[in-house]
Amino acid sequence: MWNFDDIQQKALQEIDACRDLDEAEALRVKYLGRKGLLPEIFASLSQASPEEKPLIGKGANQLRARITEALEGIKKRVQEETFDPTQRIDVTLPGVAPVLGHKHILTQIIDDICQIFVGLGFVVQEGPEMETEFHNFSALNIPVDHPSRDAFDTFYLESKDPGNPGRHLLLRSHTSPGQICIMEKYAPPLAVVIPGKVYRPDAVDASHSFMFYQIEGLLVDEHVKFSDLKGLLTVFCKRFFGEEIIMRFRPHFFPFTEPSAEVDISCYICKGKGCSVCGRKGWLEILGCGMVNPKVFSAVNYPKGKYTGLAFGLGVERMAMLKYGIHDIRIFFENDNRFLNQF
Amino acid sequence: MKISIKWLKDYVSFQLPAEKLAHKLTMAGLEVEKIEDAGDDVILEMEVTPNRPDCLNFQGIARELSAVLDKPLKLPKVKKLLYPKTRCDIEIADQKDCGRYIGTVLEPVQVKASPDWIGTRLSALGGRLINNVVDITNFCLLETGQPLHAFDYDKLIGGKIVVRRAKAGEKIVTLDGVERALDPSVLVIADAQRPVAIAGIMGGLATEVTNQTRKILLESAYFDPVLIRRASRLLGLKSDSSYRFERGVDFATVEAGAARAVSLILTEAGGGVVARRDVNPGRVRAQGKSVTVSLMEINELLGSELTVAKCRTILKKLNFRVSAGGPGVLKVVAPSVRADIKDPVDVIEEIARVVGYDNLPLTLPLVRAQNVPPQPEYPFAHKLRDIFIGQGYNETVSYSLLSQGSLDKSGLSGLPVVRVKNPLSLDQEVMRPSLFPSLLGIVRSNIHRGQKDNKIFEIGKIYLGQAEYKMLAVMGSGTRDKDWRALHNRAWDFYDLKGALDQMFARLGLTAVVYEACEDPFFKKGTGASIRAGKTALGRVGEVDRGLLQQWDIKHRAVFYAQCDFEALYKLASKKPSFKKFSEFPGVTRDISLAVKEDVSFQKVKEVILKQGGALLEDVAFLEEYRGEKIQPGYKGFIFSIVYRSSLKTLTEEDISIAHGDIAQALIDQLGVVMR
């Protein structure tokens, strides 16, 4: 009869004393190999008495399991102890990824703003930049002798207006002619946002550019109210600038809306206390808006008195400058990689 | 416009601290931009919108404030004067230029320093004190909004005033001591011989009121706003007077302002009125227009629930005459200073302003399903952007205006460009006929700032003839993406740019895109290609000509450029390809190594393989181009990897050998290719 406890104890001691894989292999051969101890034990079964047989069988199986397990364990330990450190990779080295480019910040801001309105049922439309005096001024109730029509305030083109020979085409000085383009083409109800470039002959400095982006908004239907204008722009400002901002609607003047308003938001720097960013006012002017002047509706031959509408316009660069603390408008058009890569 | 709170209190009483007052004014439409402490006074700087010239003076602001604060308006009492029958000699050449002119002659006046009460008020606003007569004209301008001017009557040749256009070649030395050349677009006040003032802008030095002056002619007039504005711009000369005339003064105030000034001069400088003339007084009756507006209109437009009584009270506080025009209807006549009130909406705005926009309700609009379709090009542009930023390109946004020089330097002279009539600088002469100069300028400035790797694209408009076209342009220069595992970063080249374009075409579902070698003025010889899909021209790609780069001050650097027509891409991309079922059977890959004559293009070889491969050929990948000693002269080596797969069965060795052999034979027969 085999003394399984003694055999197991001795085997485990020997295994535990292993220092390398060769020794472990030798022990495997000694115990588990073809001519090793365990085959010998199993072979002895044939001579064992019927009472001993199950005991030997059970004991041998247990022994084999324990030795196998111990050998696996020791192999792992020995492998770890003999690991070649030069095979270790520096997991802190930088990963390698394909470079991703960046959408221009103005594109991003335009899309952010447009998507807010798209979510509210508006559609995005774009209008031409080379416009007629009718679209840019007359239809918007801007009188013939208005200063903004002067060559000091509007770029005129050498091209003649095909519909009004004698007059020149111009570069739109705001996106509001986009309102006229839409209304000439479609009957209400309509709700559009019109993003695009506009041009003014301003001397370029940190806050002026001869080209910049605006977004125009227009909603025309029966029974559109001033209270709707307030509600719509409140939703917009809170989504764009954050729920916590405070807004105010301040009376203003635009020839193409009446009543007209400018919207201010509480200064994000000083929270309304007054600082250099808001010019000590505590408020930042962010957009102009109002109820569409009935004279604009008559310019596009909408039936008198049937429709009311709301309109608004905002400067995209200004929004970006406020949101990201950019102080020079020229940087948008320089396209320095160090600027583009930040957004 | 600057106002002193202390002075303002002459016309309306209030106890508000400056910040509160500023807020009230701002929320009534008179935006206060600056509050300045000035000892025992506070100066407010406010922006008056162009429709409210009536608020460019203390009385006008006080009128607004009295309505907003509900306090009475206190206007100075001007004693009605009895003027002598004697008329002074005033002649107006064209009534359109000058709608009204009141001349009042006073003598003997004692010209001296102003009394304190006028001096402190003017000084508080930073005004320079001259003498009592001049100061009174300035005081009345600020008080009433009527610009006034006093001439030394004895210096008016012929004792005569003529309001006329300047004659060509005429000159005047204005009060600021500057000699100014005039032309017939400028309206002047002349005496019998010469201009003595630029109408509405500034008086002349020759007839200035000095301490020696004993007899004066006080001018109070209405000049055409456009004429004054243009002259002011032309001469580069602005004044408190021109600012108000440009925006329009009130016909009635011409008389009220004169009366106030005359009474102050009589009190402060003595003397009496010896002659007077009011030319064109008929226009005085030009009153505010009568406007009818219903309560329903008011509440419908504002979304409010105001009452007739409330509206009536507000309008009355603004000095409007209000009478009932039927049930729920108001008949309104604005004061003559409010020339901006002509239509019902104008009246509604007045009510909204005084109620306060912040006190009006807030609702969400009903946005109904509508007739205007979304513009599908807008999301398409974003799709293109995503494709290029995904490949490491930065999007740029650049000016649409360029200099002619930048076109000449780009080999783009002679296009039907759109020119700007009034550019401010040479950089704004033309609308860009191509995105090429814009992108090259950006790459150049980045290179000059030490940033040598540039991969950029722009989706922007170009302008030709009378039309605007959207374009996609891509430019790259430098090395390929950095990878620290690679020893050297390979230079970025034509095939990197072409690859980016191919990626785009693939993503847009354009399968039949072909590149054909072509020459282009801005491409280096032998590197340009035109791109088309079927018969549609899509664009061009190539390496930028080195000589051209030299002109742009870009040296020792290769730059690659591509442009595509946005509309064409959009139209082709919108044809949606349908789903193709893929085979369940295994595919087998076989390489083929060819020696191809130098003048046979890759495209031709590939076309033969595709055509011959037929249904069994699933894919052809290009592995290598080889030139060198292992290949006969005049030939180049191409290695392709061809994938064969059937949708019907697992291909046998024999099937594949036949197919592969057929392709080889076709290449030999059709292109004279030699198998390697």
Within an 8 Å CB–CB cutoff, is residue B253 touching chain A?
A: no
From B392's Cα to the closest Cα of chain A, the distance in A is: 4
Are residues A218 and A82 located together in one domain of the fold?
no
User: In CATH, what is the architecture of B89-285?
Assistant: 3-Layer(bba) Sandwich (3.50)
pLDDT at site A318: 93
In a domain, A81, yes or no: yes
**Is residue A144 domain-shared with residue A171, that is, in the same domain?**
yes
CA proximity to B231, closest of B220, B219, B222, B243: B243
Distance CA B47, CA B31 (A): 5
Pick A250's closest partner by Cβ from B357, B423, B446.
Answer: B357
Number of CB pairs, chain A paired with chain B, less than 8 A apart: 268
With contact defined as beta carbons under 8 Å apart, do B150 and B216 qualify?
Answer: yes
Q: From A171, which residue of chain B is nearest by alpha-carbon distance?
A: B420
CATH code 3.40.50.970 for B290-358 = no
Give B 178-237 residues with CB within 8 A of chain A: 225-226, 229, 233
Distance CA B409, CA B635 (A): 39
Question: Which of B27, B42, B362 best tests the A interface by mutation, with the highest count of A CBs <10 A?
Answer: B362
* CB contacts, 8 Å: A262 with chain B: 31
Question: Are residues A289 and A191 located together in one domain of the fold?
Answer: yes
Helices (H), A98-176: 105-119, 133-136
Residue A99 covered by a domain? no
User: Which residues 40-79 of chain B have a CB within 8 Å of chain A?
Assistant: 49-52
Instruction: Nearest by CB to B362, from A156, A201, A231: name it.
Output: A231
Which is it for strands B529-533 and B513-517: parallel, antiparallel or unpaired?
Answer: antiparallel
The answer to whether residues A218 and A320 belong to one domain is yes
- For residue B18, the distance in angstroms to the closest alpha carbon of chain A comes to 13
Partners of A182 on chain B (C-beta within 8 Å) are 372
- For residue A334, the domain's CATH number is 3.30.930.10
| Interchain pair B370, A190: CB under 8 A | yes
Residue A238: count other Cβ atoms within 10 Å of its Cβ: 15
Asked if B350 contacts B315 with a C-beta cutoff of 8 angstroms, the reply is yes
Backbone phi and psi for residue A286, each to the nearest 5 degrees, phi listed first: -120, -25
Residues A64 and A160 in one domain: no
- A150 contacts on B by Cβ (under 8 Å): 233
The CATH code belonging to domain B2-69 is: 3.30.56.10
Residue B138 is classified by DSSP as H
How far is the alpha carbon of B589 from chain A, nearest alpha carbon, in Å? 28
Nearest CA in chain B to A154: B422
Interface test with A, best of B55, B358, B366 (most A CBs within 10 A): B366
Residue of A101, A201, A260 lying closest to B424 (CB–CB): A201
- How many CB atoms are closer than 10 A to CB A16? 11
Number of domains chain A is built from: 2
Residue reference for tokens 């506009």:
A198
Model confidence over B231-250: pLDDT tens digits?
A: 999 999 999 999 999 999 99
Residue pair B559/B542 in contact (Cβ under 8 Å)? The answer is no
Q: Which of A335, A338, A340, A341 to mutate to test the interface with B (most CBs of B within 10 A)?
A: A335
Give the domain-ending residue among A87, A116, A135. A87
Tell how far CA B439 is from the center of its chain. 23
User: How far is the CA of B287 from the CAs of B303, B349, B623, in angstroms?
Assistant: 31, 20, 88
Note whether B36 contacts A: Cβ–Cβ < 8 A: no
Considering only CB atoms, A340 lies closest to which of B352, B368, B394, namely: B394
Q: Cβ of A308 and B300 within 8 Å?
A: yes
Q: How far is B421 from chain A (nearest CA, A)?
A: 5
Task: Confirm or reject contact between B582 and chain A (CB < 8 A).
Answer: no
CA distance B441 to chain A (A): 9
Regions of chain B with pLDDT less than 70: 281-287, 577
What span, in angstroms and rounded, lies between the C-alpha atoms of B293 and B325? 9
What are the distances in angstroms from CA B189 to CA B91, B176, B672? 10, 17, 95
Contact B352 A259 (CB under 8 A): yes
Residues A83 and A109 in one domain: no
Is there a contact between B272 and B106 (Cβ–Cβ < 8 Å)? yes
Nearest residue, CB atoms, B394 vs list A145, A259, A341: A341
Q: How big is chain B by its Cα radius of gyration, in Å? A: 40
B408 touches chain A (CB under 8 A): no
When the candidates are 2.60.40.420, 3.30.300.30, 3.60.40.10, 3.30.930.10, the CATH number that belongs to B377-481+490-573 is 3.30.930.10
Q: Which amino acid is at B128?
A: R
Whether B226 and A145 lie within 8 Å, measured CB to CB = yes
Domain B89-285 and domain B290-358 have a common topology = no
Helix and strand numbers, DSSP H then E, in chain A = 12, 10
Residue of B nearest to A193 (CA): B374
Chain A residues in contact with B223 by the CB 8 A cut-off are none
**Which residues of chain B does A114 touch, with a Cβ-Cβ cutoff of 8 Å?**
378
Are A158 and B421 inside 8 Å of each other by CB?
A: yes
Which of B377, B399, B419 minimises the CB distance to A158? B419
User: What pTM does this model have?
Assistant: 0.86
Biggest CA-to-CA distance, chain A: 126
- Same-domain pairing of A188 and A325: yes
Q: Tell me the chain A residues in contact with residue B348 when contact means C-beta distances shorter than 8 Å.
A: 258-259
| Model pLDDT for residues B45-81, shown as the tens digit of each residue | 999 999 999 999 999 999 999 999 999 999 999 888 8
Domain that holds residue A222: 105-340
Question: Looking at the complex, does the CB of residue B16 fall below 8 Å from at least one CB of chain A?
Answer: no
Share of chain B above pLDDT 70, in %: 99
| Both structure tokens of B316 | 């009355």
Give chain A's residues under pLDDT 70: 1
Q: Determine the residue among A156, A287, A337 to mutate to test chain B binding: the one whose Cβ has the most chain B Cβ atoms within 10 Å.
A: A337
Domain co-membership, A19 together with A168: no
Q: Which of A33, A53, A87 is the last residue of a domain?
A: A87
CB contact under 8 A, B394 and A280: no
Which residues fall within 8 angstroms of residue B327, CB to CB, at 6 or more apart? Answer: none
Domain range list for chain B? 2-69, 89-285, 290-358, 377-481+490-573, 588-675
Same domain, A15 and A49: yes
Gyration radius (Cα) of chain A, Å: 41
Please indicate whether, in this complex, the C-beta atoms of A336 and B398 are within 8 angstroms of each other: no
Beta strands A123-124 and A190-199 are parallel
- C-beta atoms surrounding B371 within 10 Å: 13
The helix/strand/coil state of B148 is strand
pLDDT of residue B287: 67
Q: Please name the member of A98, A111, A120 whose beta carbon is closest to the beta carbon of B382.
A: A111
Residue in chain B lying closest to A156 (CA): B421
Which chain A residue has the Cα nearest residue B343? A294
Mark yes or no for CB contact B451/A338 under 8 Å: yes
Model pLDDT, residue A23: 86
Q: How close B202 gets to chain A, by Cα (Å)?
A: 21
Of the candidates A87, A121, A142, which is a domain's last residue? A87
Residues A333 and A211 reside in one and the same domain: yes
CB of B259 less than 8 A from some CB of A: no
CA distances from B101 to A73, B143, B253, B413 (A): 114, 19, 12, 57
First to last CA, chain B: 89
Question: Is there a contact between A224 and A257 (Cβ–Cβ < 8 Å)?
Answer: no
**Please, what's the b/e burial string for B402-427 (b: 16 or more CB within 10 A of its CB; e: otherwise)?**
bbeebbebbbbeeeebbebebbbeee
> Which residues on adjacent β-strands are paired with residue B588?
B644
Report if residue A240 sits inside a domain. yes
Q: Residue B466: its chain A contacts at CB < 8 A?
A: 130, 159, 162, 169
Report how far residue B122's alpha carbon sits from residue B22's, in angstroms, rounded to the nearest whole number. Answer: 21
Distance of CA A186 to the CA centre of its chain: 33
Quick one: A83 and A204 in the same domain?
no
Q: Which residues of B touch A259 (CB under 8 A)?
A: 302, 345, 348-349, 352-353, 357
Closest Cβ opposite residue B422 in set A129, A156, A281:
A156
| A176 occurs within a structural domain | yes
Q: Is 3.10.20.740 the CATH classification of the domain at B588-675? A: no
Q: At what angle do helices B377-389 and B494-507 cross, to 10 degrees?
A: 140
Q: Does residue A269 sit in the same domain as residue A335?
A: yes
d(CA B356, nearest CA chain A) in Å: 8
Nearest CA in chain A to B401: A211
Q: Read out DSSP for B411-424?
A: T-TTS-PPBBSS-S
Nearest residue in chain B measured CA to CA from A123: B374
Under a CB-based contact definition with an 8 Å cutoff, are residues B354 and B28 in contact? yes
